Amino acid sequence: MKNVILAFLLSAMSLSSIAKENDFRGHDVTMNMAVLSISSLDFNNVGLSMLPMSVQYVYQHTGHLGYGIIANYSPDRIDFSCGQDGERERVSCFSVMPTFRFTWISKRRFTLYSKASVGIGYANGIKKCFAAAQLSPVGITFGKTVFGQFELGAGTQGLPLLFGVGFRFK
């Protein structure tokens, strides 16, 4: 297993070094949507949200490392309680998460990246804060100034597929 992981990392680093000549350094602003998202109020409650929407800003600091912030809104969340009462409540959720993005391949009109975000959320209606997170091991953008975006991942921002439209500027 260690050899497989090492081979993957080495091949990804070699691919990203080939793409260095096309590095993009600048700003990305993206509006995203997903079908579902998942969040947790604590270890006993898990919530699923329908049609979460988010706005994401990322500053691509170097050819590989970017960082930014995500603001997320989930209009209809259902809590599945694992406790004794088994109550289900519908609430809306807001979350804010700092995000870190590692770009594997950066071409003129194509980018392959991974992203991790951790922050805090607020469930309106039951008035509780919760831990918000998003892990997207595979993200793809295509386009130059105006671009499309797809991510495979799980978390508060989207599950399993997140899609959006963005604008890139220097």
Q: What is the largest CA-CA distance in the chain?
A: 58
pLDDT of residue 21: 45
Is the predicted pLDDT of residue 39 greater than 80, yes or no? no
Residue 20 DSSP class: G
pLDDT of residue 86: 52
Contact 39, 132 (CB under 8 A): yes
**In the chain, what are the domains?**
2-169 (2.40.160.20)
pLDDT of residue 19: 46
Percent of the chain with pLDDT over 90: 41
- pLDDT one-digit tens code per residue, 130-150: 888 999 999 999 998 999 999
- Bridge partners of 116, per DSSP, are 100, 135
Burial class (CB in 10 A: 0-12, 13-18, 19+), 44: exposed
Q: Is 164 helix (H, G, I), strand (E, B) or coil?
A: strand
Residue 13's pLDDT band, with cuts at 50, 70 and 90, is low
Contact 31, 40 (CB under 8 A): no
The whole-number average pLDDT for the span 93-111 is 92
Contact 66, 59 (CB under 8 A): yes
**What is the pLDDT of the chain when averaged over all its residues?**
80
pLDDT of residue 170: 84
More confident call, 49 vs 106 = 106
